[in-house]
Amino acid sequence: MLLRTMKHMQPAVDPVSVLVDGRGLTVADVVAVARHGASVMLGDDARAAMERSAALVDGFVAGDTPVYGVTTGFGSLANTVIPADRTAELQVALVRSHATGMGATVEPEVVRALLLLRARSLSMGYSGARPELVELQLAFLNNAVTPVVREHGSLGASGDLAPLSHCALSLIGEGEVFTPDGGIEPTWSALARTGLHPVTLRAKEGLALINGTDGILGMLCLALHDMSQLARIADLTAAMSVEGLLGTDRAFAADLQALRPQVGQAVSARNITRLLAGSAIVASHREGDTRVQDAYSLRCTPQVHGAALDTMAHARTIAERELDAAIDNPMILHDGRVESCGNFHGAPVGFVCDFLAIAAAELCSIAERRTDRMLDKARSHGLPPFLSTDAGVNSGMMIAHYTQAAMAMEAKRFAVPASVESLPTSAMQEDHVSNGWAAARKLRRAVDNLRRVLAVELVCAAAAIDLRGPLQPAAGTGAALAVLRERVGGPGPDRWLSPDLRAAEQLLADGTVLSAVEQAIGTLEVM
């Protein structure tokens, strides 16, 4: 049975709950649980599948056949046979020794995604874990008990071993968790407060808890969600820059776009066309303008934004496949076979994390170029220098652009792929690693940078539109301008700009700007 949101089930169940029942978790489900606290529960089919798988493991322990991670050691110790009476001890030792994270704490939403996704994979019944483990993972989520995971430790080889081990450590009552106010406390304290009880691991269960790509995948899902919003915002800020620079909308016409049948390009062009529909600013120079064409940063916006959309669509396909995958090693097959495999290797998700970081960098790059044109008197078609009506004494948006340029350059550094890097570990047993965790970590930073770069373009383009008055912007761009002006003032004497830029960033992050625009002209497209 598919793992699905409960709103597709019987109406008596809480519509924001997510059912963990083997397969089919969506990106939206991950975001709902990880970021918005949606409740989760284990389905009956998954519970039965896990019980059957756990019974097979019990048989392996009672028998004489060596089974990796069940009756043997791990990694290069795979040929070391473990006596039956020490197999449970082996699992606890594994969790403790693999919880080696260092550095800053990982964001709670990432840890929550990691917990959910490991529970999802275990629920498929290929890992030999009892239902009690998943039930406690879900109880952690439902009671806001979030293990402390550290930044460094995962190579994305046997999955996210170190991060998942920190989560597993909390499941056995050890390690640390976040307090409700964001502090850190021992796990036993949180369990006592919430009335939860730690599990006692049995054979295979420690390994099953830590052998997955769940951290990489969780960060990929969160990034896909955020980039789907930021892609629409990028079309919006581009449209506002077109107005501010007295650009034309003719290059975005559907018949021109159809000559190059790239799907993302067509989507972006349609969005920009709708955002500029009815613009008095664009209409004001439709006739008699001596310019033959706009600069690339305006005219080629759909081509660049569209390429990012196509990249997002590919990454979503990979994420959705991974959300339907059983990730562990060895796999306990339903016919009783135990087979080693490499499903824990993070290459598929690591690659697309790097690919998305490239897309984010290009969205930053072209937005910075549009902003730069608005600030340059020689290229802005009548706007004052740096959008200041009293340039000289006042610097206007000059240094706001410096900030944007610094972030755009940082985004390019984040675009350097991590997934091509590898160092052998575990005495050469694990001689090729994905480095997918690192790819996902820098993707999160790339997404944050993109939001900030677009916030600067929003502030500058809004000022440019104001300076084109009394000509009025389009309904879509005008809605963005109006909601921005509730928090950020228009052109005038120099003032402390950092609060303005951060306010604009917050209006993008919380959806205020996009919501206002879509209320005015309808939902913008995204892939």
Which residues are the active-site residues?
A: 68
Contact between 27 and 320 (Cβ < 8 Å): yes
SS3 of the chain: helix, strand, coil, percent, to 5: 55, 5, 35
Contact between 308 and 290 (Cβ < 8 Å): no
Which tokens hold the place of 43? Answer: 């389905």
DSSP state of 339: E
Q: Based on C-alpha coordinates, what's the Rg of the chain? A: 26
What gap in Å lies between CA 405 and CA 398, rounded to an integer?
Answer: 11
517 Cα distance to chain centroid: 23
Rounded alpha-carbon distances, angstroms, from residue 388 to 381, 392, 400, 425, 467? 14, 9, 12, 57, 10
Amino acid at 256: L
Q: Is 313 left (phi over 0), alpha (psi -120 to 50) or beta?
A: alpha
Rounded alpha-carbon distances, angstroms, from residue 414 to 154, 216, 314, 403, 437? 18, 16, 19, 17, 13
Residue 470: asked if its preceding bond is cis (omega within 30°), the reply is yes
Taking the CA of residue 194 as centre, how many other CA atoms within 13 Å lie in the half-sphere pointing to its CB? 21
Q: What is the dihedral of CA 28, 34, 39, 44, to 10 degrees?
A: 70
**What's the burial of 403, exposed, middle or buried (CB within 10 Å: 0-12/13-18/19+)?**
middle
- Tokens 């969600």: give the residue: 225
DSSP states of 120-161:
HHHTTS-S---HHHHHHHHHHHHTT--B--EEE---SBSBSH
Which tokens hold the place of 389? Answer: 């009506």
276 Cα distance to chain centroid: 30
Which tokens hold the place of 211? Answer: 């052998």
45 Cα distance to chain centroid: 30
Nearest to 461 by CA among 400, 390, 522, 525: 400
Taking the CA of residue 82 as centre, how many other CA atoms within 13 Å lie in the half-sphere pointing to its CB? 24
DSSP states of 406-449:
HHHHHHHHHTS-STT----BTTTTB-----HHHHHHHHHHHHHH
